[in-house]
């Protein structure tokens, strides 16, 4: 009788699947691994290492495995697969836009993905369309991570937003009116020596204390200030005027030589509509109004000798000038009449038709 040889089948065995993580791929292990057995995979490829760890599997491929002791083989295991490492989002890339004269700086996630969740440290900001970050506190350092609900990226490089650049205040210009002794001038009352001032039209400069130099009279100017980054709006327009005119007296004329007891008439020629202060023969000063034609008349009646008018000053109601001019009216010389014919000829009596003796007189002086 021939004996019947039997073999012991390997016992059934489970395969343990370890799911993937954010740091590693998934993997499989034969949990009742026996190093004395041979393991065969369908499809072929994987191998079993120490501790039953299966290596060489393709991700997302269904495998079965059986064990053999050299005589008999087990049935196939339940199909199993492993998955690739979980996807970790890319580290957010931040683009920082510097501030301008009109707006604060801002930051954008340049590799923004609308399906990810972004977490900031410190908390507060949010991400909007296109990756623009809102809600940041100026001058505060932030980091941001991206999450897909399973894995979270490494934090971004630190970043911050800077405040809007400072725009200088608009220059305030004070204009000082001209006087009788000086031109008008303009001053920047909120002058700052660290600023650069730009004039329209060009030409003027700013000196110590904000005094503006080099302005043309009666020309309208505007000025702005710049700190090298930003420029203010223009000031209101301003201009300066030349020094007020000084009134003057052109000359003084008179009516010439007069007789004793006559009237000396002086004509003062000066700037129209002014007032002239004068004196006659050193007497207390008086005032005469110059008419719109530029003349003022001074009459001195009953003169008994040479009469001199001296001007002292002239005023237009705003400015005055000391002007010393003089004019003199003289008397005609005394006239003497002397009889030079024979005595008694100056008193003759004759009958009608009889010629009287000649009578002769000598006149010394100027007769009128």
* Residues 126 and 150 grouped into a single domain: yes
The answer to whether position 61 is within a domain reads: yes
Per residue in 197-219, pLDDT (tens digit) is: 999 999 999 999 999 999 999 99
Is 8's pLDDT higher than 90? Answer: no
* Residues 231 and 261 grouped into a single domain: no
Q: CA 179, CA 182: separation in Å to the nearest integer?
A: 5
Q: Which of 242, 273, 308 is where one domain is finished?
A: 242
* Residues 147 and 211 grouped into a single domain: no
| Residue 348 confidence class, pLDDT cut points 50, 70, 90 | low
The answer to whether position 171 is within a domain reads: no
The answer to whether position 175 is within a domain reads: no
Cα angle vertex 367, ends 365, 368, to 5°? 150
Structural domain range at position 78: 7-86
* Residues 98 and 140 grouped into a single domain: yes
pTM: 0.65
* Residues 309 and 319 grouped into a single domain: yes
* Residues 321 and 351 grouped into a single domain: no
Is 358's pLDDT higher than 90? Answer: no
* Residues 110 and 41 grouped into a single domain: no
Q: Which of 221, 242, 263 is where one domain is finished?
A: 242
Q: CA 367, CA 360: separation in Å to the nearest integer?
A: 16
How many structural domains does the chain have? 5
Q: What is the CATH number of the domain that holds 319?
A: 2.60.40.10
Location of structure tokens 């006659």: 280
The answer to whether position 170 is within a domain reads: no
* Residues 133 and 93 grouped into a single domain: yes
Per residue in 279-337, pLDDT (tens digit) is: 999 999 999 999 999 999 999 999 999 999 999 999 999 999 999 999 999 999 876 66
Q: What is the CATH number of the domain that holds 128?
A: 2.60.40
The answer to whether position 178 is within a domain reads: no
């Amino acid at each position: 009788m021939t004996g019947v040889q039997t073999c012991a089948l390997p016992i059934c065995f489970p395969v343990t699947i370890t799911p993937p993580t954010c740091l590693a791929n998934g993997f499989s292990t034969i949990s009742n691994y026996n190093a004395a057995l041979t393991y065969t995979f369908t499809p072929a490829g994987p191998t079993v290492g120490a501790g039953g760890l299966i290596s060489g599997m393709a991700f997302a491929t269904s495998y079965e495995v059986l064990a053999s002791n050299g005589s008999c083989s087990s049935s196939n295991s339940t199909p199993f697969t492993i998955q690739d490492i979980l996807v970790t989002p890319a580290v957010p890339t931040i683009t920082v836009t510097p501030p301008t004269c009109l707006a604060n700086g801002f930051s954008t996630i340049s590799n923004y993905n609308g399906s990810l969740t972004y977490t900031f440290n410190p908390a507060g900001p949010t991400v909007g369309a296109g990756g623009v970050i809102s809600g940041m506190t100026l001058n505060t350092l932030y980091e941001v991570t991206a999450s897909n609900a399973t894995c979270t990226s490494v934090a971004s490089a630190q970043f911050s937003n800077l405040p809007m650049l400072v725009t200088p205040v608009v220059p305030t210009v004070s204009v000082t009116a001209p006087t009788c002794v000086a031109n008008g001038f303009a001053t920047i009352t909120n002058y700052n020596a660290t600023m650069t001032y730009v004039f329209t039209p060009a030409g003027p400069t700013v000196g110590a204390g904000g005094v503006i130099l080099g302005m043309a009279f009666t020309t309208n100017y505007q000025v702005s200030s710049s700190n090298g980054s930003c420029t203010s709006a223009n000031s209101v327009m301003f201009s300066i005027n030349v020094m007020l005119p000084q009134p003057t007296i052109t000359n003084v004329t008179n009516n010439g030589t007069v007789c004793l007891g006559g009237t000396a008439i002086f004509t003062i020629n000066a700037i129209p509509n002014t007032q002239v202060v004068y004196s006659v023969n050193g007497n207390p000063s008086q005032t005469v109004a110059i008419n719109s034609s530029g003349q003022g008349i001074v009459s001195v009646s009953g003169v008994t000798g040479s009469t001199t008018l001296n001007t002292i000053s002239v005023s237009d109601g705003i400015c005055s000038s000391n002007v010393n001019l003089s004019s003199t009216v003289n008397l005609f010389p005394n006239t003497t009449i002397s009889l030079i014919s024979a005595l008694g000829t100056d008193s003759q009596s004759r009958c009608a038709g009889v010629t009287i003796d000649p009578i002769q007189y000598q006149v010394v002086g100027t007769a009128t």
